[in-house]
Structure 1
């Protein structure tokens, strides 16, 4: 079975060949054979990336199956109760512990609502959650993340100065006045839940797996998915305002382009954003959209898509990095399918020490021989400067 590392090496090799072809052709007009060769490279790159996604999905399924195979219990009794050990003890056993262990857990993990048995997770576990949130979706990769001590309502001052300019003043003449226009943007936070995860009780207690990593990853991925969707297309009603919801339309495709975008559209979208926000600006789109956009050529037939050679580096489109976000709609009638701009103007607000985990041992789970787990964290987001991002919208027909 091919490994993820082998697939990544294949992608790097194909990207090197594609870039070599670009450099070799230079300003020459591409022949059909050149085009077919380049398209072959990009098709294989996209296929390899999809295969990596498939392998990662299978790993998640294998992790689920792991719980069907009991292993030996970890010897946790008598171990010094550090933050991670305390979390593991709590996840494995709930509060069915010795008095000494229970006291040590309470010392390490802050109690939230005692009657419900919830704990604010220690810093080490909270860091694991944040890293998992960053790794999923796309918005946290490019947005500005602002931790706040509390979740109190916050209005952020805004001011668009891109249309302002100074003047020349004659000797002994009075300068004119140009007042600055200020506005405010709300940055409320919302209490996100992973929903409860039910796992076999006996296997949790007996398994030799890293229960903290498994449970935290599963809960954090669920929260990451809904947060990324809200940061992208949230309505602002009972959820954050999404980036695509706030950003203005920079280019509407002409009739007949309900499923396509052209090179001219991408250029128009880029220049719909003021130059003040174009330094470091990026494109953002769904991975399905990437497959079509990566084949677009400029006016002399040269590909405008440059695949990344080194792992972790972004692909480049029309001279700008590309962020893949699968919560951006795919191309369809009236869909806002591509965004361009300075995505750091979207601010995600995380409330510090708000990540909570709880184990459930009530009858809803206990009668089935299971334990339930749920995670919560408080967060919100908004595009503080709407002029910084514009979107491409497909035609209605």
Structure 2
């Protein structure tokens, strides 16, 4: 068993609780590796694994997943930015908008909020009322979402003021050429352009508070709203960015047409087959993953990541290459990601499970592959009437998304 203590110093930037969780995670991984090696040895000797060994591997694998989730939760908790933190208050103090927003949230006093938005001639307030949150609150909500929303954390995020982003894209690439110093400059051929449209759709959450909480001066209202809406927003976003149908929600990358990589064309995502329906072909699992990696052009591989759900990751965790090395490796420290063949792994629960014909693993440069569009402005409507004695806060933001470069990612197709 390798010396796990060597990894501990990398967690010193985090609290002792996260360091302890990381140590427990690495111990669980070592136990899993030993049990899986025993399982593979049984297969080589008897052409089948012992039932008890299989059950042991599955049990340790589940325990490893639990340790990994616990470690990630602790790291996220420690690295999550605080809304309206003490440093901001000490250095600059709360803005006029922030003060007015707190009075509105706590007591329903709209006067200063109306004056601020009239002065700013804001066009972002919706027809059903409510007020825009302060800029610092909106920025921190965006940072929180980036920390916990898996696809948002690796995609390109663009903030716009309009309801729709239209982006031209040169399918044939930039038109360039070489010429000598005194040579004539021939006219370049017209590029083949496509216009990609990314409409933004309304995403909402409705946290509730008691009057006692709102009257408590020790409660940071900005932080409370951010914590309440971030999980709801992240869960809805995560589903839409993967499987959204584009109707009143972003279009997910798994809903675009797919085609075998040998016949790839713009407008579809290329796929690589594993050679077995609903699994990896016997003895060639590493080859299938390698084929997926090298189906991607070199320019995209530099910043590529694997995306899959935890059940697929559990299956991939058991794979070895021809030299007996595990393809999956644990994170090197707090805040790092696990890797597969040296590339970071991103866990997205909405990815499909391994099944016949399922595209259960995506690999690519998601910064160039998928675009998330945020419309500027997060709006809050205070409602003290609908659920008395509780006060509801109808919080909305507009989000869109879709594939912007169809050549920047490939899917692993579990089929012949």
State the 1:118 CA deviation.
Answer: 0.9
Which residue pairs with 1:267 in the alignment?
Answer: 290
CA deviations 1:114-159 (Å, max 9, x no partner) are 9955111111110121012112231111111111232245243232
Output the CA distance in 1 between the equivalents of 2:106 and 2:355.
Answer: 47
**1:116-155 matches, cutoff 5 A:** 118-155=130-167
Correspondence for 1:348: 372
**CA deviations over 1:322-380 (Å, ceiling 9, x no partner):** 1222221222333221101111111111122x211111123x22xx3111111111121
Of 83, 99, 104, which aligns to 1:90?
A: 104
Q: Which has the higher contact order (CA 8 A, sep 6+)?
A: 1
Q: For residue 387 of structure 1, report the CA deviation from its aligned partner.
A: 1.2
Q: Report if aligned partners of 2:199, 2:400 keep a CA contact under 8 Å in 1.
A: yes
8 Å CA contact 2:202, 2:399 repeated in 1: yes
Matching residue of 2:299: 276
Aligned equivalents of 1:157, 1:373: Cα separation in 2: 40
**Aligned partners of 2:389, 2:319: CA distance in 1, in Å?**
56
Distance 1:166 1:350, change over 3 A: same
Match of 2:199 among 177, 185, 188: 188
Alpha-carbon offset, residue 191 of structure 1: 1.8
Residues 278, 354 of structure 2: 8 Å contact kept: no
Q: Which residue of 1 aligns with 2:233?
A: 223
Deviation sequence 1:200-247 (CA, Å, 0-9, x none): 334433474323212222123212221222112222233222122236
Q: Relative to structure 2, which stretch is displaced further, 150-159 or 49-58?
A: 49-58
Paired with 1:177 and 1:83, the residues of 2 have a C-alpha distance of 51
Is the Cα–Cα contact under 8 Å of residues 278 and 357 in structure 2 kept in the other structure?
Answer: no
Match of 1:374 in 2: 394
Distance 1:55 1:282, change over 3 A: closer
The answer to whether the Cα contact below 8 Å between 1:259 and 1:333 also exists between their aligned partners in 2 is: no
The alignment status of 1:7 with 2:18, answered yes or no, reads no
Is 1:325 the counterpart of 2:348 in the alignment?
yes
Q: How far apart in 1 are the matches of 2:192 and 2:129?
A: 50
Residues 57 and 178 of structure 1: CA distance in aligned 2, closer, same or farther (over 3 Å): closer
CA offset digits 1:84-124 (Å, max 9, x no partner)? 443333222223xxxxxx54444556776599551111111
SS at match of 1:358: strand
For 2:336 and 2:194, the matched residues in 1 are separated by 36
Partner in structure 2 of residue 210 of structure 1: 220
Aligned length: 347
Q: Would you say 1:389 and 2:402 are equivalent positions?
A: no
Gaps of 5+ in 2: 1-15, 35-39, 45-52, 78-92, 257-267
Q: Please, what TM-score do these two structures have when normalized by structure 2?
A: 0.70
Q: Secondary structure at the residue paired with 1:184?
A: strand
State which of 294, 298, 312 in structure 2 corresponds to 1:289. Answer: 312
1:256–1:149 Cα change, 3 Å: closer
- The CA distance in 1 between the partners of 2:127 and 2:73, in whole Å, is 42
Q: Distance in 2 between matches of 1:322 and 1:282?
A: 6
Q: 1:306·1:316 contact (CA, 8 Å) conserved in 2?
A: yes
2:337 aligns with 314
